[in-house]
Amino acid sequence: MRKLVAAWVFSAMALALPPTAKAATILDFSSALYSAANGSGSFSTIDQGVGVNLQSSPFLSTLNHLPQGIGVNFPFFPDDTEVGAFETLTVNFSSGQFVHSISLRLLFGGRDEQEQGIYSINGGAFVPFFANSDSGDLTVLIDQPEVNQIRFQAPRLVDDYALNSMDLTAVPEPASMILLGTGLLFGARRRYKMKRQQ
């Protein structure tokens, strides 16, 4: 009977673990955590257990921390502080993430023009997105697992925007997965030994 209870507790624990690991995570690039990226070409941090690296290109361009999120500044092509023409903002993850959606700001869909952007996941083909309101806010649905990299560009001179946030299911670092696994095994072995000694 005690064996049965132990087995039940163990399987209940195993069942309870995945939802905890799969809680929705919002990476907010407008938050103070990312303000240190300002003025650098590359910036790395750990955000809620997710290893995030931001990069600007071309060479000599820098990341810009705006109230609305992250943009790119290229001093030799004075447009503005957002992701504009000839510029690329790259987001790298240290382990593949399940990305649900991406939120952009300052992408206006006014009367005269409709701003656009393009993104590429894991080096794949660029996909366009279009402003749909005067607010400048746009959320793009992604729903893709194993995302290691997303690149953002602006296809035309009139297009520019800031990367505001990403909604994802955080995939823990491989190292912590291994630790978690050995921890469970170690615990099970100890329980087995204790039982034998009783």
Shortest reach from residue 66's CB to Ca ion, in Å: 10
Closest to Ca ion by CB, 47 or 79:
79
Question: Cβ distance 87 to 74 under 8 Å?
Answer: yes
Residue nearest to Ca ion (CB): 84
Closest to Ca ion by CB, 57 or 94:
57
Shortest reach from residue 41's CB to Ca ion, in Å: 13
Shortest reach from residue 102's CB to Ca ion, in Å: 16
Residues that bind Ca ion (CB under 5 A): 72, 79, 84, 106, 160
Number of neighbouring beta carbons within 10 Å of residue 61: 20
Q: How far apart are CA 120 and CA 127, in angstroms?
A: 6
Closest to Ca ion by CB, 75 or 123:
75
Number of neighbouring beta carbons within 10 Å of residue 182: 10
Q: Is 50 helix (H, G, I), strand (E, B) or coil?
A: strand
User: Can you give the length of the chain in residues?
Assistant: 198
Shortest reach from residue 154's CB to Ca ion, in Å: 8
